[in-house]
Amino acid sequence: MPFDPFAPKDYVRAMALRPILVLPEPLLRKVSDPVPEVDAAVRALVDDMFETMYEAPGIGLAAIQIGVPKRIVTIDLARKEEPPARQVFINPEIVWASEDLSSYEEGCLSIPSLYEEVERPARIRVRYRDVDGKPQEIEADGLLATCLQHEIDHLEGKLFVDRLSRLKRERALKRWQKARRENDA
């Protein structure tokens, strides 16, 4: 039965954990569709995304990673001892990127246990809608800039390994596949 935000029993709907898609799932390569309107269903999806992201645990999640090809990103960079710092980016778009670069060791919930150094613009400006549907713009640097770029790549059907050289990507994915086979054995 679909979620009805006006039905009394659904008003306090519990969040739900969603399965996270893992490579080589083809849906991870799909370009996500824009969100035409931020409504109760979108807000419920955002809540599910946060619950799923926290449980994983991760610091960022794109809707496509839970099988929903919509342009929605959730991020929380708070440390464990800090209160949550939920950030929601609906229809995010990078409108400016610095020429200077920074490098971070990135990982991905859709490629569990694989970490590689990725170089990206050090600062970016992102235009998006918030969870209330209001237009926003943010300039980000450091980990937030990296995380936003990583998650926005997901919305374009790209994974962080696509940012590696061909040789480095092939080696990393072979190591990852071998480790998965050994864990499944």
Residues tagged active-site:
151
In whole angstroms, give the CA distance from residue 79 to residue 99.
Answer: 29
Are the C-beta atoms of residues 120 and 101 closer than 8 Å to each other?
Answer: yes
> Going by DSSP bridges, is the β-strand pair 87-97/72-75 parallel, antiparallel, or unpaired?
antiparallel
CB-based contacts of 173: which residues, under 8 Å, 6+ apart? 114, 161
Name the nearest CA neighbour of 35 among 92, 109, 100: 92
Spatial distance between the Cα atoms of 65 and 13, rounded to a whole number of angstroms: 22
Q: Are strands 123-129 and 135-141 parallel, antiparallel or unpaired?
A: antiparallel
CB-based contacts of 156: which residues, under 8 Å, 6+ apart?
A: 31, 32
